[in-house]
Amino acid sequence: MYLFTTNAGYQQFLTTWGREATLLGTYTYLIALVITVLMSINRVAVVISPFNTWFTDTKVFIYCGLISIVLLISLIIPYLGPCYITFMVDKQGFISACAPSKHPVSFKFFGGVFRTLTHEN
């Protein structure tokens, strides 16, 4: 949308469909990465123990289902909250709806980690 419309049109798109587009785009991007890690673990397991039953057809289906559910839940939590996340192409990043202030969860967690690492109070 960013390439086909004006800046005002893109902002309207973000207001209307930004949350859903970010949720769908992030989910499809991350699920491919996580399934690739699962496939790599499968390859290593086959090399270590060629006749194991860790990755039967049913178990791979269950592993993929669990990964999909956990990933979807982790993305739906901020989607349903007041500080939902939107990917903005013009800024090349994920922006919180609470943005000039920070997202409360990430600010408390990462702010605490940063203060701990830099020895600030």
CA distances from 24 to 51, 86, 96, 99 (A): 38, 11, 16, 21
Check: CB of residue 14 under 8 Å from CB of residue 97: no
Q: How far apart are CA 76 and CA 90, in angstroms?
A: 24
pLDDT digits (tens, 9 = 90+) for 48-71: 998 888 888 899 999 999 999 999
3-state secondary structure of 85: strand
For range 75-95, the mean pLDDT: 78
More confident residue, 51 or 99: 51
**Dihedral of CA 116/95/26/59: which sign?**
positive
How sure is the predictor about 104, in pLDDT bands with cuts at 50, 70 and 90?
low
Predicted model pTM: 0.68
